[in-house]
Structure 1
Amino acid sequence: MRVKVACVGGGPAGLYLSILLKRQDPSHDITVYERDPEGSTYGWGVTYWRALLDRLHEQDPESARALGAASVRWREGVAHVGDRTTRHSGDEGHGIGRHRLLEILSARARELGVRLEYEREITAAELPSDADLVVAADGVGSDLRTRHAAHFGTRLTAGRNRYLWLGTTKAFDAFTFAFVETAHGWIWCYGYGYGPDRGTCVVECAPGTWTGLGLDRASEPEGRALLEKLFAGVLDGHPLLQSPGGSPWQTFRTLTNRTWHHGNLVLLGDAAHTTHYSIGAGTTLALEDAIALATALREHAVIPQALARYERERTAALLPVQSAARYSAQWYEDLPRYIHLPPERMFALLGQRHSPLLPHVPPQLYYRLDRAAGQLEPLRRFKRWLGPRVARTVHARTVSSGD
């Protein structure tokens, strides 16, 4: 059945959905509206994992090959705690620049016949009246969702810590954590490469550290200079970079919705949900949303039935991820509880930060229990009884962050 689709938002979720729908039926009439100029985007690099790339190859091999070729890879995580360092092997991680990701997806969408209209802001009052399906892929601040916030049951919860998303000319060869102690408390960064001469550096600290260091009052160049000094040990002389019009220090907002569709309007990606950046799942979840929605529309000729199936499937899939994200954010908010452990133990618990049991057990005891549970089946059963382990898809991200 030919459908007319208006997708508001030209990020990864909206573009990938348009690609999949056109592959399913070239007769679909699909327009993606993006309020910003083409080629302008926020952020630096995004991360994803081998399992996602394998799934993208199943959906659209051409764009998957292009994404894989444009990505850098790593298999290790390294943590610097003061002058101590520990390194561990992990799953294969991938990093790609957000600009490059959008270039690949937009080029593929155009090739398949999708209309892309940039610098075109569509509000709830301006939606095409003849669209069979309207997709709100316009981010966490979605105007389309806000208009029906009561129906969607939208809830935004702010985290405690402050964070800042920066770039750098340092191309990290591993997913890097660096924790630095100051007179005002700990400050840390997550660093990962996304190109031969580029990396992402997300800086985070508690509110008292942020104000104590004067980061709340410093100009943007002054703040960057201070951070470059604090993280000189991992930056190796490379500068930190702020994107033009980049976001200031902020607190992470966790977004949830009770339902994801209203009439012929459906939420996608960050318009539907957010998960804390420390689990590195944002881009992956957006693309998985697109896959699930395209599949539901292919298998159900009646749009309301398709949207209901999409909502059931994705809300169920998100439950363990959202739980993991909450506990991961809490781990960093409770950093003083773990930071003075021997580095290999601290890093092991960093990898276990998704566990609902960890906040309630003394860290040293949890570490010993976790080590023993890996060797003895009775203790594995005991640990499962005390608290459910995070789903496998989330556990694979134990040495990563950033999206």
Structure 2
Amino acid sequence: MKVVCVGGGPAGLYLSILLKLQDPSHDITVHERNPEGSTYGWGVTYWRGLLDKLHERDPVSAQAIADHSVNWNEGVARVRDLTTRHGGDEGFGIGRHRLLELLAARARSLGVRLEYESEIDAAGPTGGADLVVAGDGVHSALRTRHAAHFGTELRPGRNHYIWLGTTKVFDAFTFAFVETDHGWIWAYGYGFGPDRSTVVIECAPETFTGLGLDRADEAEGLALLEKLFADTLDGHALIGRAPADGSSSWLNFRTLTNRTWYRDNLVLLGDAAHTTHYSIGAGTTLALEDAIALADALREHPQLPRALAQYERERKQALLPLQSAARYSAQWYESLPRYIQLPPEQMFALLGQRHSPLLPYVPPQLYYRLDRAAGRLEALRRFKRWLGPKLARTVQARNLSSGRQPEEVPERRG
């Protein structure tokens, strides 16, 4: 099979690796419009479940990714002068530049051709490919050309955000909320290397304009943000990367959906097919899982239409709960004043519950009490499940020692 991948991000590179491992005779070329080694962003996150899946498919690239990642299993939340730390799932961070470098090296070693500074636009040639993979991001030219067929919808979020780096190395996934005269501004921070972390800073439109971030140049904006988050950064600097076209580094997150994910021999992958709000940290994971699902479908079904239909069906189904979680997580931050004034233990608890579809419709303090009660009930259920077999064994032992048959139960009195 001749395959052309448009876009040299994690999804396109990993798909090329998997397809070559399945059949080395596949003719695969990955086209990336940017020079090799250039990328946007800082570090990306993923979780233990993804690493396990990568090890199952290709232990070589999985081990390389793990060796160049940092990990954490705690979360930290700071509001004003209050800080709380709590345990969580094992998370990992890796520099996006490093991740692409590792995947590109593995793809090359398997015989994949990587063509950098090679842009395939909507009308560009694809060399008679059997399969064309649009992995060219949220603004995919290949998808846009057939937007009516794909049923593309792009919905901008309300808040502004900026993606920055810092020399401060966070030892846990960190949330920091700062109150200003113009409203709240907050940051998500996580490490991705021995000397670097990512910091995503977000605020409401009125805070953005009130602080003058809409008018500040890059240096002025970074200086202001460093001052606001001085306690969280421990005096470390923030590092920006202004876009080459001179546009603002501040963005509004865009939620992208498509009614269908393929057209003839063209299929969408990663951000070209879907986006989920960055506050759930799933973008890279979902892109790599897309690649896994597409490779599996192509292996199971020699007929391309059946393979692409299976891929679309499985991934859309798998995305439903994550898209819901991302939508409610974004809504939680857009409604921050509803939660930020709660007592600290309640606010921190609801930060962890921000994916709940019920939370926006229940008064926060009532939701907190209900959640606590439900937690106690679940703890009681777990205790009963643990205690039940022990009681059964105790009763059985007493029955045997008293001469009763095991199935007999002593008469209950009182």
Q: TM-score range by the shorter chain?
A: over 0.9
Letter in 2 for 1:350: L
Structure number with greater CO (CA < 8 Å, separation at least 6) is 1
2:387 is aligned to none
Residues 1:8 and 2:45 aligned together: no
> Could you tell me whether the CA contact under 8 Å between 1:372 and 1:379 is conserved in 2?
no
Cα offset, 1:149, TM superposition: 0.1
2:21 is aligned to 23
Please give the alpha-carbon distance, in whole angstroms, between the structure 1 residues aligned to 2:120 and 2:369.
55
1:346 is aligned to 347
Tell me the TM-score normalized by structure 1.
0.92
Q: Which runs of 4+ in 1 moved over 3 A?
A: 377-380
> Could you tell me whether the CA contact under 8 Å between 2:204 and 2:334 is conserved in 1?
yes
Letter in 1 for 2:291: A
Aligned pairs for 1:242-391 (under 5 A) are 242-245=240-243, 248-376=249-377
Deviations 1:103-131 (A, max 9, x none): 00000000000000000000121132410
1:234 is aligned to 232
Please give the alpha-carbon distance, in whole angstroms, between the structure 2 residues aligned to 1:295 and 1:240.
41
Aligned pairs for 1:69-148 (under 5 A) are 69-148=67-146
Please give the alpha-carbon distance, in whole angstroms, between the structure 2 residues aligned to 1:377 and 1:9.
46
Please give the alpha-carbon distance, in whole angstroms, between the structure 2 residues aligned to 1:212 and 1:377.
45
1:205 is aligned to 203
Cα offset, 1:349, TM superposition: 0.6
Please give the alpha-carbon distance, in whole angstroms, between the structure 2 residues aligned to 1:191 and 1:307.
37
Please give the alpha-carbon distance, in whole angstroms, between the structure 1 residues aligned to 2:347 and 2:225.
23
Letter in 1 for 2:343: P
What is the percent sequence identity of the aligned residues? 79
Secondary structure of the corresponding residue to residue 330 of structure 2: helix
Tell me the TM-score normalized by structure 2.
0.90
Please give the alpha-carbon distance, in whole angstroms, between the structure 1 residues aligned to 2:47 and 2:41.
19
> Could you tell me whether the CA contact under 8 Å between 1:373 and 1:379 is conserved in 2?
no
RMSD of aligned Cα (Å): 1.3
Secondary structure of the corresponding residue to residue 376 of structure 2: coil
2:50 is aligned to 52
Deviations 1:186-218 (A, max 9, x none): 000000000111000000000000000000001
Of residues 227-236 and 371-380 in structure 1, the stretch that sits farther from structure 2 once superposed is 371-380
Please give the alpha-carbon distance, in whole angstroms, between the structure 1 residues aligned to 2:341 and 2:84.
14
Of residues 146-155 and 369-378 in structure 1, the stretch that sits farther from structure 2 once superposed is 369-378
Of residues 343-352 and 243-252 in structure 1, the stretch that sits farther from structure 2 once superposed is 243-252
Letter in 2 for 1:139: G
Secondary structure of the corresponding residue to residue 266 of structure 1: strand
Please give the alpha-carbon distance, in whole angstroms, between the structure 2 residues aligned to 1:218 and 1:242.
13
Deviations 1:258-299 (A, max 9, x none): 000000000000000000000000000000000000000000
Larger radius of gyration: 2
Secondary structure of the corresponding residue to residue 210 of structure 1: helix
Please give the alpha-carbon distance, in whole angstroms, between the structure 2 residues aligned to 1:196 and 1:344.
32
Letter in 2 for 1:50: R
> Could you tell me whether the CA contact under 8 Å between 2:176 and 2:188 is conserved in 1?
yes
Please give the alpha-carbon distance, in whole angstroms, between the structure 2 residues aligned to 1:173 and 1:72.
9
Cα offset, 1:338, TM superposition: 0.5
Deviations 1:209-235 (A, max 9, x none): 000000000111000000000000010
